[in-house]
Structure 1
Amino acid sequence: MFSHCCILLLLSVFSLTPLSLALPFEQRGFWDFGIDGDGGGLTTMMMRDVEEGSAVEDPAPPEFPVCPFGCHCQLKVVQCSDLGLTEVPRNIPSDTKLLDLQNNRITELKENDFKGLSNLYALSLVNNKISKVHPRAFVPMRHLQKLYFSRNLLTAIPKNLPASLVELRIHENHIKKVAEGTFSSLGTMNCIEMGGNPLQNSGFEPGAFKGLKLNYLRISEAKLTGIPKDLPESLHELHLDHNEIQAIELEDLSRYKQLHRLGLGYNHIRMIENGSLSYLPNLRELHLENNRLSRIPKGLPDMKYLQVVYLHSNNISRINVDDFCPRNFGVKRSFYNGISLFGNPVQYWEVQPATFRCVNDRMSIHFGNYKK
């Protein structure tokens, strides 16, 4: 407790100080804070804190994943396209979800190229020069769902594809054979795109698709002369356009009862054997354009759910009144939304109006003018 004399002394000192000298503090440099009565109090205080362990230390700089040279890394996406790479780059962050390596010059996938990338969801290798893939190259990728391998130099589908794979696009390679057990490591897939390969019917070995449940398959622009045997029975969409198929025989479609969409356009089909389409009770869309058919395929009126039929650019010269619609209205469950017949040598004015009695709208019928 201060004594009375001390208080009086302090009051007298303050009373003698002119108001004009009581100026606000002005900092001229950092060390101004360290100049106090005991010769560097701030410095002494910091040294004491360090000794006692209570000083505020500078935080360590955050650790950022290393991004491969020339690539762009952001939000678990690593983009290394169009860099002229000849091999898979190193130091790819382990948390990468999407790896883009398209438009490079990679020639080979080695065993450890994707080591540590267990979180990878999508891998794009489109437009490289890959001709060799190590059998264990994809083993680390336990969660890979999308693999884009188009426009490379592969002669066979890589082995040991990840069991998690949902989508495989491998068109425009040099694949001539699909060996037995190629997809044995896979269970259920949504899409396989393998068009643009020199595949013949003999190139599909028995058991190539054994055990695979597949929704969508496209083998276009190949060298098929018929519908391949032993494709997955679970298919909802099958596209075989731009091939050399000449006929549809009775048993060709017998195992594909789940098909909703069938693409056979741009082939050389002259004949569809009676009863062939009866194996497709759930078909919604049928592509037969740009073939050599001379008549409407038999069996269309009995397809309860068929809604779209492409028949343009064939050699059809006559259309009968019952070619599309059943005599009994109760048989047809879904009316047609589209029937294309242009590019055929048929005189549309000779077609009876009742021919299209099970079509939703007259605008759904496309005749056009035939020019030889």
Structure 2
Amino acid sequence: MKSTMMLLACLLSLSHALPFEQRGFWDFSMDDGMAMMNDEEGSGTPPPTMPGLPLPPMDMCPFGCHCHLRVVQCSDLGLTEVPKNIPRDTSLLDLQNNKITELKKDDFKGLTKLYALVLVNNKISKVHDKAFEPVYHLQKLYISKNNLAEIPPNLPSSLVELRIHDNKIKRVRKDVFNGLKNMNCIEMGGNPLENSGLEAGAFDGLKLNYLRISEAKLTGVPKDLPETLNELYLDHNQIQAIELEDLIRYSKLYRLGLGHNKIRMIENGSLPFMPTLRELHLDNNKLSKVPPSLPDLKFLQVIYLHSNNITHIGVNDFCPVGFGVKRAYYNGISLFNNPVAYWEVQPATFRCVTDRLAIQFGNYKK
């Protein structure tokens, strides 16, 4: 009876023991060594596997990387190629800030569960035609700040987001986005793209919500971008004018970025093609007057016009005539750094603005 009580007490104490916590690299090897010693002393503890049977496969973390909960982080290691033996259940692979120059055919072999791949800030200039074939569940590809001369071919059809800015891309081929029906966002600014580099039909079949082609060499608004766009950013280009039919396709836009261009003229009637527009960036251009047709944009709430050459503001430049016509009032109008005599502007000019703090005039300085 006494020995039985002692056995129960030992079992209870074990049931309340804390889980094992590894505090050092050698903790596991020490445990293995203790187990071996116990076996040699005849403890009777059976081995973990039967003799003659192969050990179960075990994915190892690549040397120097950190692996945790299906996330493999191999950034800032000076790698010149994609590491081998990446665990097959990896969902996020971070390879940014290395010196990888090429993506080979089998670099991602077996990574069928990969969801996001980060290759930002490497030296990649070559991508094998079948490099992305194994990662057919990939949804996010970040390959910005590399040396790519074109968009990689055969991107996974599962792709939702592509960030490929700050490369050396001069051309977007007609068939490069074929089959990418799930694509929602493309960031491709910072490439030396001209209007002629966007082949006709290059974006056919895409249902994008977001597209940025900023810091490029565009001289006009591209005319065959996806009609589904909600956000379009063409800032820091060389666009000189907005003509009547430039925006006719983009009726679903609610945010348009055209800042830091050379726009001198916006043709009357071009802006109403975007009836749901809520935010318009026209700052840092060469406009000499407030763009026409702004009162027709019933939902416009924010407009940036600072750092232009605007000299006069009319009483009906922003607000429609009559009450109840505009559906949403302005909560931001920036007009600073323009040669306009703000003290001569009629107070009624801003009758459809939420409050006076929403208007920014500032001082004009040459």
Structure 1 length as normaliser, TM-score? 0.84
Whole-angstrom distance in 1 between the partners of 2:219 and 2:260? 12
Equivalent position of 2:184 in the other structure: 190
Whole-angstrom distance in 2 between the partners of 1:181 and 1:255? 21
Q: 1:308 aligns with which of 285, 302, 307?
A: 302
2:233 aligned with 1:244, yes or no? Answer: no
Equivalent position of 1:253 in the other structure: 247
- Quote the offset at 1:106 in angstroms: 0.8
Which amino acid letter does the alignment assign opposite residue 308 of structure 2? N
Equivalent position of 2:46 in the other structure: 57
Greater C-alpha radius of gyration: 1
- Quote the offset at 1:84 in angstroms: 1.1
* Alignment check: 8 A CA contact 2:114 2:135 kept: yes
Q: 1:199 aligns with which of 193, 197, 217?
A: 193
Whole-angstrom distance in 2 between the partners of 1:206 and 1:328? 44
Q: Percent of aligned pairs with the same residue? A: 73
The one-character-per-residue Cα deviations of 1:106-149 (angstroms, maximum 9, x if unpaired) are 11111111010010011011111111101111011111111000
Equivalent position of 1:149 in the other structure: 143
What secondary structure does 1:217 align onto? Answer: strand
What secondary structure does 1:355 align onto? Answer: helix
* Alignment check: 8 A CA contact 1:293 1:314 kept: yes
What secondary structure does 1:354 align onto? Answer: helix
RMSD: 1.5
Q: 1:349 aligns with which of 343, 346, 362?
A: 343
- Quote the offset at 1:278 in angstroms: 1.1
- Quote the offset at 1:229 in angstroms: 1.9
The one-character-per-residue Cα deviations of 1:26-50 (angstroms, maximum 9, x if unpaired) are xxxxxxxxxxxxxxxxxxxx9xxxx
Structure 2 length as normaliser, TM-score? 0.85
The one-character-per-residue Cα deviations of 1:53-82 (angstroms, maximum 9, x if unpaired) are xx7623349864211111111111111111
- Quote the offset at 1:190 in angstroms: 2.4
* Alignment check: 8 A CA contact 2:148 2:169 kept: yes
Matches within 5 A, 1:71-220: 71-220=65-214
Report runs of 4+ in structure 1 exceeding 4 Å deviation: 60-64
Equivalent position of 1:299 in the other structure: 293
Between 297-306 and 180-189, report the one with greater CA deviation: 180-189
Equivalent position of 2:216 in the other structure: 222
Q: 2:326 aligns with which of 326, 332, 335?
A: 332
Unaligned runs of 5+ in 2: 1-38, 50-54
* Alignment check: 8 A CA contact 1:160 1:185 kept: no
Which amino acid letter does the alignment assign opposite residue 189 of structure 1? M
Whole-angstrom distance in 2 between the partners of 1:247 and 1:266? 13
* Alignment check: 8 A CA contact 2:227 2:252 kept: yes
Equivalent pairs counted in the alignment come to 320
* Alignment check: 8 A CA contact 1:120 1:144 kept: yes
